[in-house]
Structure 1
Amino acid sequence: MFFVDTLEFEGLGNRSYLAGGRSAAVVIDPPRDIDQVLAAATRRGVRIAYVAETHVHNDYVTGGLDLARISGARYLVPAEAAVSFARTPVADGDTVTVDEGLVLRAVATPGHTPHHTSYVLADAGSGVAAFTGGSLLIGTVGRPDLVEPRLTERLARAQYASAHRLADELADEVPVLPTHGFGSFCSSAQAEGDTTTIGAERRNNAAFTQDVDTFVAELLAGLEDVPAYYAHMGPANAAGPAPVDLTPPEPADAEQLARRLAAGEWVVDLRNRVAYAEGHLAGSFNFEGEGKLATYLAWLIPWGKPVTLLAETPGQLADAQRELARVGIDRPAAAATGAPESWLREGEKLRSFPRATFADLARAAAGQDLVVLDVRRDSERADGYVEGSLHIPIHELRGRVGEVPAGVVWVHCAGGMRAAIAASLLDAAGRDVVAVDDRFDAAAPAGLRLVLPGPGTDTAR
């Protein structure tokens, strides 16, 4: 008898796992906020006997060290990982007994990092789950360029070999349970589906359907920019993260908000983009609490700069604080909740800007020149863009606002979330903006001319 529970963290695009038997369990790649892992173990009625890391993570701060300390579990970390804390080092082939008949075996799978290790869970001697971390993912593999540029091609080749090793050692029906691939930029591409097996990957994953040279060439060609905050995650995890502190931040009134803005600190409005556009505190930035808050805020904010959070409710604030702690933004400087009017000093007014669709943009563009700003990634832009638009990826916009021509700026992305962030950055810089809150596939049907890959352009249908 065994179980595997999946803990999903949609904001970061990652998963953790609790797996065990009747009385004991192992946790694979736990999140920073370990309370939900402890709650999952309590629901199962099991003791956490082991905490296992597949690698020193580059995209979030682990809760593994704290979880092992609190639960009394042995902390399994790849032996070749350079860390500054006591742990149980594991090497290829090492095994531990999780519960009666339930054995966890370490399998060296370098590629995502040089020391990356997967774990195979066996019940009564038969493999029942492969926890593949950032190695073999659903329809893809982990990216090999997060450690050292000079190692990237070597790690890409190692990633190919690691995928084949797993497939050679495991039966087709064994589930593949990765940590990355569900939105995380640690993945070389996003997951193609929600679940998979060794056999499905053997049939569909490029690591098996291509020869090694083709695989490596295409993998390296498809790599995109790495979120800036990744540079801080590996060192934090190697040093041993401190326990997370989720107590409420200091409350801020209108006067304090004004002082923080005047000091150049970041004041982040967590409300949805519709509410923000209708009325917001001048100088604040909009990162939706229900979007990819941690990824984009941690990517764009100068690391270490104080951040004050604005939210509709204490619950929204608490959720955001938890999400940000996962990427090392541990303690907001201050926070305020309620209606945006309560964040204003006497005599101040809320700022606002319009939202629009691509059809609105097409009508406005008829017969006049507009500033159209595309904040999508390079790969998205390469698949087609609005003719005459300016391209500045969202993560570069803060440093390149001066490149945006004078006039009203119509800013778009692929679906609206990043356009809202960009619009708030431009609005805070004093620019007149229109946030295009629409899916990009509506651009051509709306009548906008797109420049597509290859020669020529495509006129809207």
Structure 2
Amino acid sequence: MFFVDTLETTGLGNRSYLAGGPDTAVAVDPPRDVDRVLAAAHRRGVRIGYVAETHVHNDYVSGALDLARITGARCLVPVGAAVSFPHTPVADGDTVRVDGNGGEGGVVDGGGDVGGGGGDRGVGLRALATPGHTPHHTSYVLTDGGVAVAAFTGGSLLIGTVGRPDLVEPRLTESLARAQHASVRRLARELDDAVPVLPTHGFGSFCSATRSDGEATTIGAERTANAALTQDVDAFVAGLLPGLDDVPAYYAHMGPVNAAGPAPVDLTPPRPADAEEIAARLAAGEWVVDLRGRGAFAAGHVAGSLNFEGDGMLATYLAWLIPWGRPVTLLAATPRELAAAQRELVRVGIDRPAAGATGGPASWLRAGERLASFPRGTFTDLAAAREERDDVVVLDVRRATERASAHVGGSAHLPLHVLHGRQAEVPAGVVWVHCGSGLRAAVAASVLAAAGRDVVLVDDDFDPETTARAGLPVVDGDGRPHGPA
């Protein structure tokens, strides 16, 4: 009898999987913090015999090599992936006996039908070449007694969409999009409608080509909902490419790290920093990141520190904004929050904070220093401020794709991921900064405040209709009033 356990990495919008039988399991696309995978295997009472990578990841540092080192598992990597660490290359049609007759079986070259992966005894894994997200991308079909019971589709077939094809090389984007279409159709052709689709990306990940909604899907459900299965290849590519969003800057570092073989993780607490050291690090131009909620930060913080909420998309946005390799000191209310942030950050290659401190902002200040602060408001407050004074600047820090659908008329626009280093482009005045929910605006407000600007954090949800009812002009990407004609 087989099992599949899902390991969520919500901050990055990814999932990893542990699957197998009574004795042995395979870990698919494991996260960098492999202790979570080991704990899942312990709960199941199985050993990890294999670690399978669907592709060389661009959005997070993989735990595959470290997990293989710890467990002695064989590390399965698609044959076309240029990696430089010990592994077992896997080609299209290769089969692995995961659990059956003691759980040993190795890799069997030469294909056979998808349903035959691992033979008709025990649990098996069969490789299917599904290029598109990357040229070497490979999906894996889990079989039990010779019957396909799940498909680990990585960045190929996602829930209602596909993995984006533009992360490898711009000149390959269109050809990879066409390959993605063919790969999704191969999965649909070779697997029954009832087979669950278990992707790695698509739960908020920037590796998803379009927004992906839903928590579960099957091959049959995707036949009726996925553009790759309802449109011909030309229509699919024409619709896909214009909608591809910005690529987080740290992605440029993930592929090379994963290809070389990531180092083991060190999650021991960082060296404690006192108020003098925090001040010295700020003076040296290093990043001091306050992990508290935006309300607490706005009410009082160390001047010059930046606010990335620990329970937001910390890893994505901090790694996207920070100059790569710049030392970072973390400030948190509790040791538990500090440890959780460390865990988030190692997943994107920010391995060791330079220092850390817990407690509250008063304990992070030198004697005689005062806390910095800035106000918060709503869109209704913003509308009132625009009526009362003429120095109000509205700054929209959403991405261009978001702003194109609707935005506040007369607002300035600098997406959060380009704001650092371009603060001088923000017009003079009191800056009311907003995003879609307040999370990114909080980061932006802290960046501007650290640069000496007067800011107000619009801690409110941006909805075109309710924002217009608050008294603000809302227009579309062409500057026309938003709404039906």
Give me the TM-score of the superposition, normalised by structure 2.
Answer: 0.94
CA displacement at 1:69 relative to structure 2: 1.1
Alignment-mate amino acid for residue 156 of structure 2: S
Q: Which residue of 1 aligns with 2:137?
A: 116
Alignment-mate amino acid for residue 152 of structure 2: F
**Unaligned segments of structure 2, at least 5 residues:** 101-121
Two-structure CA RMSD over aligned residues (Å): 1.1
1:392 pairs with one of 414, 426, 432? 414
CA displacement at 1:454 relative to structure 2: 5.8
Q: Which residue of 1 aligns with 2:369?
A: 348
Name the % identity: 75
**Cα separation, 1, equivalents of 2:350 and 2:425:** 30
Alignment of 1:6-405 (within 5 A): 6-100=6-100, 101-366=122-387, 368-369=389-390, 370-405=392-427
Contact persistence 2:406–2:482 (CA under 8 A):
no
**Cα separation, 2, equivalents of 1:54 and 1:457:** 45
**Cα separation, 2, equivalents of 1:256 and 1:317:** 17
Contact persistence 2:29–2:200 (CA under 8 A):
yes
Alignment-mate amino acid for residue 470 of structure 2: A
**Cα separation, 2, equivalents of 1:175 and 1:190:** 20
Q: Which residue of 2 aligns with 1:3?
A: 3
**Cα separation, 1, equivalents of 2:478 and 2:180:** 32
The 1:200–1:402 alpha-carbon spacing in structure 2 relative to 1, beyond 3 Å, is: same
Give me the TM-score of the superposition, normalised by structure 1.
Answer: 0.98
**Cα separation, 1, equivalents of 2:169 and 2:370:** 49
**Cα separation, 2, equivalents of 1:40 and 1:459:** 49
**Cα separation, 2, equivalents of 1:399 and 1:253:** 28
SS at match of 1:275: helix
Contact persistence 1:448–1:459 (CA under 8 A):
no
Q: Which residue of 2 aligns with 1:414?
A: 436
Contact persistence 1:111–1:159 (CA under 8 A):
yes
Structure 1 ranges of 4+ moved more than 4 A: none
CA displacement at 1:452 relative to structure 2: 2.1
CA displacement at 1:405 relative to structure 2: 1.1
Contact persistence 1:447–1:459 (CA under 8 A):
no
The 1:383–1:73 alpha-carbon spacing in structure 2 relative to 1, beyond 3 Å, is: same
**Cα separation, 2, equivalents of 1:389 and 1:455:** 11
SS at match of 2:343: helix
Q: What does the per-residue CA deviation read over 1:437-457, in whole Å, with 9 as the maximum and x for residues that have no partner?
A: 111013122121101256731
2:470 pairs with one of 442, 446, 451? 446
Q: What does the per-residue CA deviation read over 1:144-163, in whole Å, with 9 as the maximum and x for residues that have no partner?
A: 01101111100000000000
Q: Which residue of 2 aligns with 1:426?
A: 448
Q: What does the per-residue CA deviation read over 1:95-145, in whole Å, with 9 as the maximum and x for residues that have no partner?
A: 001112211000000000000000000111111000000000000000001
**Cα separation, 1, equivalents of 2:219 and 2:213:** 14
